[in-house]
Amino acid sequence: MTDRDLSTQIDTAGDTGRDIVGSLQRGLTVLEILATNPAGLTLTETAERAGLTRAGTRRFLLTLVASGYATQDGRRFRLSPRLLSLARTSLGGASLWTYAEPFMREVSDGLGESCSAAVLDGENVLYVARIAGQRIVSVALHVGTRLPAYCTAMGRVLLSDMPEEELNAFFRRADIRANTPKTITDPRRLSEKVMETRQNGYGIADEELELGLRSIAVPIRDRTGRIAAAINVSTQSARFTCDEMREVILPHLQSAAERIEDFFAVQ
């Protein structure tokens, strides 16, 4: 269909047709054509596929580039990741974790342990995704569960993004109590643990939430480098020592985090 044919169709479509923006419709056609050609197209190739003039197609392509929805590399135009970001936004924030779950499932299947993701929600971590492991743990966890940030591996990872003054204020106001004999409750020691987590790039909680339960977590960073979420593996203390978690589990988590960040980088 040519520019002229499309204009005629819009002009004679009745009341509904008069409300249609023809130029936008043609621009969306160019967008769809680029979407089906991820390697990119030249101006001439795009115009031919769209049935538009070269001059009109050039304006559409340059507008897409200026708006950040396309990139130009020499004579070729291709879509940018921004369109993917727009699609994800339309799904809603929680739905983004559907993209992360396949990577989390790989971790869970490979280790036979549960893998979860959480964000910081006040003094707690809020579970936003979870893949249950093959082995049963006594703590019942699911999407929507809240656990104290101060005594969990994911909590310490999320807190590690806070400036030191803000972190100290957090521990002063937090409801800190001993869940087990191993729970760290001293605010100064908790701050040291979080600083250690920041330096190492991962956090470990060793039977601080419940005896017999250990977990290790790593951050998920957004495109600015800030920590947006954390993912962890929880296991029974009889299954893994802390050193074994570092050696065996940590590489799986780090690999999954890198791939999840590829999706989150364009938000």
36/108 same-domain check: no
Mind listing the pLDDT tens digit for each residue in 131-150?
A: 987 665 555 678 888 899 99
Asked if 191 contacts 176 with a C-beta cutoff of 8 angstroms, the reply is no
In this structure, what CATH number is given to the domain that contains residue 201? 3.30.450.40
Name the average pLDDT for the chain.
84
Are 234 and 108 members of one domain?
A: yes
DSSP track, 144-169: T-EEESTTSHHHHHHHTTS-HHHHHH
What does the block give as tokens for 247?
Answer: 């050696």
Same domain, 137 and 155: yes
What SS3 class is residue 149?
coil
Residue 188 located in a structural domain:
yes
Whether residue 120 is found in the same domain as residue 221: yes
Q: Does residue 194 sit within a domain?
A: yes
pLDDT tens column, 14-41: 444 677 788 888 988 998 898 888 778 9
Higher per-residue confidence, 144 vs 177: 177
Sign, CA torsion 136/140/144/148: negative
Most confident by average pLDDT, 92-101, 179-188, 222-231:
179-188
Q: Verify that 98 and 212 share a domain, yes or no.
A: yes
What integer is the mean pLDDT of 110-119?
Answer: 92
Look at residues 25, 51, 80 and tell me which one is the last residue of a structural domain.
Answer: 80
**Nearest CA-CA partner of 259 in 106, 37, 83, 39:** 106
Domain match, 120 and 206 both: yes
The tally of domains found in the chain comes to 2
Task: Tell me: pLDDT of 13 over 50.
Answer: no
Sign of the C-alpha dihedral computed for residues 178, 183, 187 and 191 taken in this order: negative
What pLDDT is attached to residue 137? 53
Look at the pTM and tell me if it is higher than 0.75: no
Stretch among 20-24, 55-59, 152-156, 195-199 having the lowest mean pLDDT: 20-24
Q: What is the span of the domain harbouring residue 73?
A: 3-80
CA angle 187, 191, 195 (to 5 degrees): 170
